[in-house]
Structure 1
Amino acid sequence: MARLGIHSFVWTDGTTEQALLEAMSQSAECGYRLIELAYLKPEKFNLDRLGQHAKSLDLDIAVTMGLPLAADVSSEDADAAGKGERILSDAVKAVRDIGGSKLGGILYSAHTKYSRTPTDRGRKNSIAAIARTADIAKAAGVDLVLEVVNRFETNLLNTTAQGLAFIDETGSDHVRLHLDTFHMNIEEANPAAALRLAGDKLGYFHIGESNRGYLGDGTINFDLMFDALLDIDYQRDITFESFSSTVVDEGLTIACAIWRDTWTENRPLAEHAKQYIDLKMAEAKRRRTTNARP
């Protein structure tokens, strides 16, 4: 049974340790079993304190991030690629130290709207960096999952098929896909078919609405998504993600173009998402049982 998580940006911009502690408590109170955090700098936060608080709440931790252009592992510039690889190595260690289970996000390029197409040399640099990072993650007991995102946030991995080809080229058995309904709704011709294509290579899954707000208030057909998750027997984590300018920090506001309030009160949003996802999964299971009857 997949665990249900929630992104910390539903609760806080993550600028203070106390806010993150409170976000963990709120998440657990709403019935979530995992909280997703943006990359935490060990020099700014007490990772042991955060990890112990999560453990006391029976809450797992996922960490996601993107790389800056100056540290782009898909760059042709060796210095930039090397800097990005060092950031990834440090991030894996931070996830380990906080007691988290996975590192995901846009790990293979910068998190930005590119003004050029990927180059062959840059792509090879990224593949090599991810392969080496996967070795570090495996030794640390941290899952490495690559988030496939829309064309306005990377130029490298926009579809599941691209993600699978990239993973295959790393030659690593420790890299999986991190798919997201918001991005799939933009880039995939058939999101449910893309989930089936991912199969057991799907390591992490984001549930988010087309307008980044309340689930069910946009255009995504979640019935098809949950049917596909059952078809591939997905047992890993599912995390609700929603961004509003009410909460998110300036960096994410710019990177993800969060220019308006998609909601203003986070607790009702979090409670609704938990109920909605539980309902949709239950409905998918009922459909499967009904269709299986002779």
Structure 2
Amino acid sequence: MAQLGLHTFAVAPKWDVAVMRAHREKLDTHQVRVLEIPLLDPSEINVDETRAFCEETGITPVCSLGVPAEIDVIADPDAGMAFLEPAFAVASGIGAPSLSGVTYGTIGKISGLARTQAEFDGTARFIDRAAARAKTFGLGLGIEPCNRYETHIMNTGADGRAYCEAIGADNVFIHLDTYHMNIEEASFDKGFADCGPHLGYVHLSESNRGAPGTGMIDWDAVFQALAGLGFNGITTLESMNHVHEAIASALAIWRPVADDPNDVIDNGLPYLRDAARRAGFNYTASSTCGA
């Protein structure tokens, strides 16, 4: 069965074990199986404390990031690898199975033109190199297509599949996001299906980045598509309730995405579970946090 996760931007802009401990009862109530921890600055993460928290609660950590603006992974892949290296170490250290997100470039960086073959080839070479290094840490590497206003390198599930097939690494997977899909795909069904066997992770993000059910995403269509594919991986509620300063501008987050921040978890998670149930998409039902 699939697992329902929560991006920690729903709680705070930076990972903080004490803050998450304060939310432990809420995580248990909503049967959160996974927490997505952003590694925009891996040095912020206390590895031992975080791993202990995850082991104690039974929560699976997954990690994500985007490459900072000052790094061009095509022109200077060594700089890109130097950025990813500590993130790989932290992700592995806390017990995460993967690192995903815009691992191949910078959120908010566009050329104003269509992606060139040289850009495709250079990006593919970097992803291949990053995947090989991730594998030495026992990690999968996710690549997240984003909308055309945030990148011209990878926008759709079909784009992600093209990279996966060009690279051929068995630890690379596609990380789709309903916020971006709502802009770029012809339908949720087609977007997910276009990934073929490479779909590995899904962000459940409302069209306004707030609580699911308060925007224009057709959640019945999302879960019907996932159920039809037999997807049994991790789907994570991602809301920009709070956002790390390193990417707030690139994501154009300058106003609150929810009138009441508590709504993202308290209303959003039950809303997603209800929509999944209607579609016959089954989540693991047992409690996460134990005794």
Same fold (TM over 0.5): yes
Matching residue within 177, 199, 204 for 1:202? 199
Distance 1:153 1:64 in 2: 16
Aligned to 1:19: 19
Tell me the distance in 2 between the aligned counterparts of 1:43 and 1:206. Answer: 25
Q: State the partner residue of 1:285.
A: 280
1:32-47 equivalences in 2 (<5 Å): 32-39=32-39, 41-47=41-47
Counting only pairs closer than 5 Å after superposition, residues 131-146 of structure 1 correspond to structure 2 as: 131-146=128-143
1:61 aligns with 2:57: no
**How far apart are the structure 2 equivalents of 1:72 and 1:256?**
19
1:239 aligns with 2:236: yes
CA RMSD of aligned residues (A): 2.0
Aligned to 1:161: 158
Match of 1:86 in 2: 82
**Contact 1:17/1:45 (CA < 8 Å) preserved in 2?**
no
Give per-residue Cα distances to partners, 1:225-282, cap 9 Å, x unaligned.
11111111101000001113xx323333201111211214333320222211211111
Q: Distance in 2 between matches of 1:60 and 1:44?
A: 19
Conservation of the 8 A alpha-carbon contact between 1:50 and 1:98: yes
When residues 122 and 2 of structure 1 are mapped into structure 2, their CA distance, relative to the original with a 3 A threshold, is same
How far 1:82 moved relative to its partner? 1.5
CA distance in 2, matches of 1:41, 1:256: 17
**Aligned residues of 2:36 and 2:62 also touching (Cα < 8 A):** yes
Q: 1:273 to 1:222 in 2, by over 3 A?
A: same
Residue of structure 2 in register with 1:48 after alignment: 48
- CA drift at 1:196: 1.8
Task: Report how far residue 138 of structure 1 moved.
Answer: 2.4
Quick one: distance in 1 between partners of 2:54 and 2:25? 8
Q: 1:113 aligns with which of 94, 109, 112?
A: 109
**Which range moved further: 122-131 or 48-57?**
122-131
- What amino acid maps onto 1:18 in structure 2? A
SS at 1:100 equivalent: coil
Specify whether residues 165 and 260 from structure 1 end up closer, same or farther in structure 2 by C-alpha distance, changes over 3 A only.
same
The reply on whether 1:192 has 2:189 as its aligned counterpart is yes
Look up the match of 1:249: 244
Aligned length, in residue pairs: 280
Query: Unaligned regions of 5+ residues in structure 2, if any?
Result: 282-291
User: Which residue in the other structure is 2:71 paired with?
Assistant: 71
Deviates more, 1:114-123 or 1:196-205: 114-123
Match of 1:101 in 2: 97
Query: Equivalents in 2 of 1:272, 1:187: separation in Å?
Result: 27
For residue 285 of structure 1, report the CA deviation from its aligned partner. 1.4
Query: 1:24 Cα deviation (Å)?
Result: 6.2
Match of 1:261 among 249, 256, 259: 256
- Deviations, residues 105-138 of structure 1 (Å, cap 9, x unaligned): 0011111232343343333222112112212222
1:126 aligns with 2:123: yes
Preserved contact between residue 131 and residue 141 of structure 2 (Cα < 8 Å): yes
Q: What is residue 291 of structure 1 aligned with on the other side?
A: none
Give the TM-score normalised by structure 1. 0.88
Does residue 31 in structure 1 map to residue 27 in structure 2?
no
- Runs of 4 or more off by more than 6 Å in structure 1? none
2: CA distance between counterparts of 1:194 and 1:61?
A: 26
Gaps of 5+ in 1: 287-294
* Residues 16, 285 of structure 1: alpha-carbon distance in 2 compared, 3 angstrom cutoff: closer
TM-score (norm 2): 0.89
Whole-angstrom CA distance in 2 between matches of 1:221 and 1:128: 36
Distance 2:80 2:246 in 1: 18
In 2, Cα distance between equivalents of 1:154 and 1:40:
18
* Residues 18-62 of structure 1: CA deviation (Å, up to 9, x unaligned): 335545665345320111111064543321111110121111111
